[in-house]
Amino acid sequence: MARARGSSATRRLDAAGVDALLQQAGGAADPIVAVVGPDEALHRLAMRALLDAAADTDWVVHRVSARDPGAASVIRQACQPTLFGEESWLFATELEAGTDDALEALREVLPQASEEARLVLGHSGVARGRSVITAAQKAGAQLIEVRPVQASALPAVLSAHARRIGKVLPTEAAKAIVDSAGADLSALLATVDQLASDAPTQLIDLDLVRATLVSSGTENQFEMADLVWRRQTSQALVAFRQLAERNGASAACVTGVAALSYSLRTLARYVAERPSGSQWQVASALGVPAWKVDVLAAQARLWKSAELAAAAVVLADADAESKGGLGEAGALDPEQKLYRVERLIRQLAGN
């Protein structure tokens, strides 16, 4: 029986399981909700569903990362009663990298959670910070368990994500995205978001996917991203130009930005957690291939946490700027598109 429960806990989600998880998050009404699991992309989608639910109310929303300096003060202050009795949500994320003070503050405020003062916790499932999740469960928290997604379910998940952002992504177009961009859900969702911003109508059709992504060379785009995080600016620019020459400006820009975003999240997690164990154990903890561990270790020696945080801001700003210009229907011509991403590469690699 114990083995059966263990295999169930580690079973990957199918498309229906993903929909059920996000519906659970969107409809969560318990005073305490804990989103726990290693799949970063699905974790973000669940948090987004919870944030959307909070946005539909006139409640005060507080957001804090437990790893931030001063997080403990923010947590305690957000959970104190207000003069006018305002209802509130506190979203506390990255418990796995939280400071001791922040984790202690969360344990302190758990008894204060109520229908008028809700608490949402985000945790990757590793050992650090797990005591807060355990305490939250004892306090009656609703647990939303985030597990990796089955490869066969990825097209359906992408189509469902497109619907949630107001677009239509037919099955054949979703399959073409997976075929061309690989099986990493974070990169796939970023690609759908980019295509959604490029599509002139609500439909993200197969022609747009083929024109933008097919034959985009996934290995090369991630090779380019790895060179950026190795601070090898010249080599990264050469790799990006080769990608653009082979696949066109739009394809190179869309897949390149998605690869940079995914690689940054993985590197930041490695730097924050510094997982120990064999290469296979570290790879399993991070959700990456075993060979990637050596790459991350080499990159991590070149970066401090504060530098990665600054790089995340640069990448987020550039991504927002590029949303209206990376598609052929945008205002930028191909050379302008390439210049924007090349400028991004220089900013990141030289950060």
- At 66-92, the pLDDT tens digits run 988 899 999 998 888 765 667 889 999
Residue of 41 and 219 predicted with greater confidence:
41
Amino acid 82: pLDDT: 64
**Residues in Cβ contact with 155 at an 8 Å cutoff, skipping those fewer than 6 apart:** 171, 174, 175, 177, 178
- At 104-125, the pLDDT tens digits run 999 999 999 998 899 999 998 8
Please give the domain boundaries of the chain with CATH numbers for all domains: 2-145 (3.40.50.300), 151-349 (1.20.272.10)
Distance CA 267, CA 44 (A): 17
Could you tell me the pLDDT band of residue 3, with boundaries at 50, 70 and 90? Answer: very low
- At 213-268, the pLDDT tens digits run 754 444 568 889 989 999 999 999 998 988 888 777 877 887 788 788 888 988 98
Secondary structure (DSSP) of 221-282: HHHHHHHHHTT-HHHHHHHHHHHHHHH-HHHHHHHHHHHHHHHHHHHHHHHHH---S-HHHH
Is the distance from CB of 216 to CB of 247 less than 8 angstroms?
A: yes
Amino acid 2: pLDDT: 33
Q: Residue 325 pLDDT more than 50?
A: no
Average pLDDT of the residues in 297-319: 86
Q: How many CA atoms lie within 13 A of 333 on its CB side?
A: 1
Q: Residue 200 pLDDT more than 60?
A: yes
